Each structure stands twice: as C-alpha cells, then as structure tokens.
Amino acid sequence: MSKQDNGGTEEGMRSLAVVRHHDGKSLPDLDRVAEETPVALVFKMMATPLDLERLAVGFALSEGIVGRRAEIFDVEAGFVTGGAEVRLEIAQPAFLALKGRRRSLEGRSGCGVCGIESLALLDLAPGPMAKPARPVIAEAAAIARAAAELPAHQRLMRATGCAHAAAWCGRGGEVKAVFEDVGRHNALDKLIGWLALEGMDPGDGFAFMSSRASYELARKCARAGIPLLATISAPTSLAVDIARRSGVALASFCRHNGFVEYTA
C-alpha cells in the first residue's frame, strides 16, 4: 500500500521546515527526515465478541507471537462496522519474528490448521514445560468438583446451545473463572490471556474444557505453562502425543465419578 506524505517527498520520509545555523547565519530551509509512525498489528479472527482483550493476549502468547506478557505493551479492543477490532502493540523483536513466519494468522472458530501456508509450519513441538505436571490420579476429587460446577457458569451455552467453555480451576477443582466462545481454541486463549493480564501463576490450577482435547489445546496449555488439561470429551492422538512430550497432564471423559488419564 503506497502512502503520500504531507511534504510531498518519497515514501518513508517527510519534508520539514527547519532553520539551518552555520557560520553565524540562520537560514530557513527544508530537510528530509525518516518517518516513524505507530503501526497497528491486527489479527483477523472469527470469535464470540466477549473478553476480546483477553482473547488477543492469550492468542499472542499461546501461538508464540510473543514469548511473555512483558512483550505486549498495549491492547485495545473496539467495535467497528461488521465486527470488532483488537489492536496489540508488541515488542519490535516479536514483530520481526512474526513477519518471518510467513503465516497469515487468519484465525477461525474451527481447526487450528486454518491460515497456515504449509503443514511444515505447524508448531507440533512446544517443548517441555518448565515445571513437570503433578500426577493426574491425585486430582480425581478436583476434576469431579470442576465437572460438577462448570455447567452453572456456562451462561452463553444455556442461552444458545452453541458455545464452548474454558474454566480456570483451583487446585481443589473450584471453578474460579469461565470464558465462553463458539471456538474452543478461542475460549482457551481468553483464559490464557486472563491469567497473563491478572499476573496469575498458571501452575496454581488447571484448565477444564467443555470440548474434546484437540492438539491445539494441548499445545496452548504447554506454551502457557498450564500443568493439567481436563476435557469433557475425547482427546485426539496428536493431543496425547503433544501432552506427553511437553509434560502436560491430560485427562478426558471427565465426569463427576471418573475420567481417563492419557499421560500416566
């Protein structure tokens, strides 16, 4: 996209009125200066328009756009014609790395492969977590409590029948926060963004999802440092593989009276 600056000079420069001082003389003149301007980085996503700042921060963290919360300087959400817009101001090294990834990052409410130019660009190795996950078998009572408490917090699901939920649960299984979205990945990103914005320790609880356990959810938990992912429905084989390699404990088919442990 071309841009014509106010001074009529080449793109990327501005022509400014200056006063040159030399040998005791002062003369008005024009000078060219390199242009520096804020650039908004906007991701196009399909999502439920709730908790948008948390969604953007969680997405940036869980997708590796930034490595830590401190690399996000500002986040601002607003509604525009036909949708909503969230603008992130991120550190320059993170922005340069993002350009080098050559990924369109056009997120949808469906699969996590959307928007990737090549299967070779899929991030299937998030690396081991800094802290090993605690044994899932010790969490039986906590998982049962989370399964029992979650439905009462699913306001959007009760009203529409069309929303996934990502719950943040304490060590005892008490549901502390719930984020809903038409996309399960978006719901988890909102949870991750909330943890980051609130400065909470992701190792001090676990994520409970009302969906199946797809590979993206396991990868996002690994990158966010969430030690346990519990889901109501089944996992995929790739989700199990990623959870095992990264050290995320994975429990699925979670009910009030039991679950299946996949990472023992």
Which residue numbers are catalytic? Answer: 111
- The closest of 87, 88, 116, 119 to 102, measured between CA atoms, is 116
Q: How far is residue 45's CA from residue 28's CA, in Å, rounded to a whole number? A: 50
Q: How far is residue 191's CA from residue 118's CA, in Å, rounded to a whole number? A: 28
| Structural tokens at position 23 | 């040998």
Given the structure tokens 């802290």, which residue do they identify? Answer: 131
| Structural tokens at position 111 | 């699969």
Given the structure tokens 């948008």, which residue do they identify? Answer: 52
Which segments within 54-108 are labelled E, that is strand? 72-80, 83-90
| Structural tokens at position 80 | 């525009």
Question: Which residue stretches of 1-65 are H helix?
Answer: 52-62
Contact between 206 and 233 (Cβ < 8 Å): no
Paired with 84 in beta bridges are 79
Contact between 68 and 60 (Cβ < 8 Å): no
Chain-centroid distance, C-alpha 188: 8
